[in-house]
Amino acid sequence: MTNAFTPRQLPLDLGHEPGYSRDDLIVSASNMAAVDIVDRWPGWISPVVVLAGPTGSGKTHLAAVWKAEAGAIVIDARNIAAVSGEKGPFLIDDIGGGPIDEPGLFHLINTVRQSGSSLLMTSRKWPANWPVTLPDLASRLKAATTVEIGEPDDMLLSGVLYKLFADRQVAVDPNVISFLVSHIERSLSTANRIVERLDRAALEKKSKITRALAASVVTAVDEGQAAFDL
């Protein structure tokens, strides 16, 4: 009896990671103000800067660019006091969504202001919406420079998609990019996931990445399928 089932050829996972250098950064209206303030360091008006924006808006990329430029020390928002005695600059990524070491943050901000150092924080919320109960800390946060990052606009999302495909040495037609920009969640993390799935699907099928293939992958991702038939 012949087995009619033909196993799919699974491509090797070559571990393509998105680049987080300044050269990898794509600038558009949605992130221009945030890119500008990162580029202007160390000439900040306020020593404390907050980049606030939704998930997938590029905050982590900007934080990585600044960390590399400033040689910043990365701090856990739950244990800020652990860096007591350090001179900085300091980076706290993704603060405000959970517990905060409030006394530690208050003293860190005071240290940064007195020493002429810098503190960059990224968050999905504006500081006024962080779970802060210390009045003195709330006052310090009001004095920080907060820059909003919007959801990726068409220009940024299409630029990121082109770059993600180029990083994998994959050429795609503009109509595929236009389809993806119109149909995927407006998030840079989603763009990376879609490109990875599309690349794997095309390798399995040994075909180009077409609009039809893109539609299949987007539908599968929207429906939360870990795997899908193509």
Question: Is a pLDDT exceeding 90 seen at residue 187?
Answer: no
pLDDT by residue (tens digit) across 211-220? 999 999 999 8
Question: Is a pLDDT exceeding 90 seen at residue 92?
Answer: yes
Whether 47 is in a domain gets the answer yes
Highest mean pLDDT among 38-47, 157-166, 214-223: 38-47
User: Token digits for 157?
Assistant: 């999302």
The CATH number for 185's domain is 1.10.8
Whether 104 and 166 map to the same domain: the answer is no
Whether 185 is in a domain gets the answer yes
Question: Is a pLDDT exceeding 70 seen at residue 228?
Answer: no
Name the percent of the chain lying above pLDDT 90: 66
Domain extent for 204: 154-223
Q: How much is the pLDDT for 18?
A: 56
Whether 128 and 208 map to the same domain: the answer is no
Residue bearing the bigger pLDDT, 9 or 156: 156
Question: Is a pLDDT exceeding 90 seen at residue 225?
Answer: no
Whether 95 and 163 map to the same domain: the answer is no
Question: Is a pLDDT exceeding 90 seen at residue 135?
Answer: yes
| Final residue in a domain of this structure, among 121, 148, 175 | 148
| Final residue in a domain of this structure, among 148, 173, 198 | 148
Question: Is a pLDDT exceeding 90 seen at residue 143?
Answer: yes
d(CA 130, CA 127): 5
User: Domains in the chain: how many in total?
Assistant: 2
User: Token digits for 17?
Assistant: 């990671």
Residue bearing the bigger pLDDT, 89 or 223: 89
Whether 19 is in a domain gets the answer no
Whether 69 and 133 map to the same domain: the answer is yes
pLDDT by residue (tens digit) across 42-78? 999 999 999 999 988 889 889 999 999 999 999 999 9
Whether 97 and 167 map to the same domain: the answer is no
pLDDT band for position 116 (cuts 50, 70, 90): very high
Whether 12 is in a domain gets the answer no
d(CA 168, CA 149): 27
Q: How much is the pLDDT for 222?
A: 77
Q: How much is the pLDDT for 226?
A: 47
Cis peptide before 152 (omega within 30 of 0): no
Highest mean pLDDT among 33-37, 161-165, 226-230: 33-37
DSSP conformation letters of the chain = ------PPPPPP--------SSTT----TTTHHHHHHHHHTT--SSSEEEEE--TTSSHHHHHHHHHHHHTPEE--TT-GGGGTT----EEE-S-SSS---HHHHHHHHHHHHHHT--EEEEESS-GGGS----HHHHHHHHTSEEEE-PPP-HHHHHHHHHHHHHHTT----HHHHHHHHHHS-S-HHHHHHHHHHHHHHHHHHTS---HHHHHHHHHHHHTT-SS---
d(CA 175, CA 24): 23
Whether 109 and 69 map to the same domain: the answer is yes
Residue bearing the bigger pLDDT, 84 or 125: 125
Whether 8 is in a domain gets the answer no
Whether 194 is in a domain gets the answer yes
pLDDT band for position 167 (cuts 50, 70, 90): confident
Question: Is a pLDDT exceeding 50 seen at residue 1?
Answer: no
Whether 190 is in a domain gets the answer yes
Whether 127 and 193 map to the same domain: the answer is no
Question: Is a pLDDT exceeding 70 seen at residue 17?
Answer: no
